[in-house]
Amino acid sequence: MIADILKTLGIEPRFILVSLVGFLILLYVLMNYAFKPMVGALNARQDKIRGDLDEAEAARTRMVTLQREYEQKLAAIEDEARDKIQSAVREAQAARDEMIRKAQEDAAGIIARGQAEAESERAKALTEARNQIVDLATMMASQTARANLNAQGQSALIDDAIAKIGALN
């Protein structure tokens, strides 16, 4: 039945067999000399791409790790800088407080010295005034004794002494 169909189509079975054997030989040759090298090249390329992808993933992982490390280092540097700034501010505040305390002490010393000098000058002025009063009283007494004046003369002498005391001040 197949033979009849092939004859009506004008196909001879021996050509089919020769064609089949030729195809199998061609398939064998292609498999060994064309497909295997191509498959090997494709496999090598696939392995290379896989390796490149693995390297890229490893590089990305290293980059992420380095980025985290840099961020931690940067945070540590910022913390250290903040601490140094705060320390400098504290030191400056302490220095300012010390300067203010010293200035207040100096001012208190100056005020105390000024008050002491003023008190000393006041005491000197009082002593001088007493000495002048004593001198005037002595002078008046000696003049009174010499003149042995009457009441009107004594009154004039007292007025004169008061005017001299007023002129001294």
Q: Which residue has the higher pLDDT, 132 or 94?
A: 94
Spatial neighbors of 132 by CB under 8 A, at least 6 apart, are 165, 168
Rounded Cα distance, 158 and 164, in Å = 10
pLDDT at 14 over 90: no
Closest by alpha carbon to 168, among 119, 131, 120? 131
pLDDT at 135 over 60: yes
* Token code pair at residue 91: 């030191």
One-letter identity of residue 114: G
Closest by alpha carbon to 144, among 125, 157, 129? 157
**Which H/E stretch holds residue 48?**
helix 36-147
Average pLDDT over residues 90-110: 95
Give the chain's mean pLDDT: 87
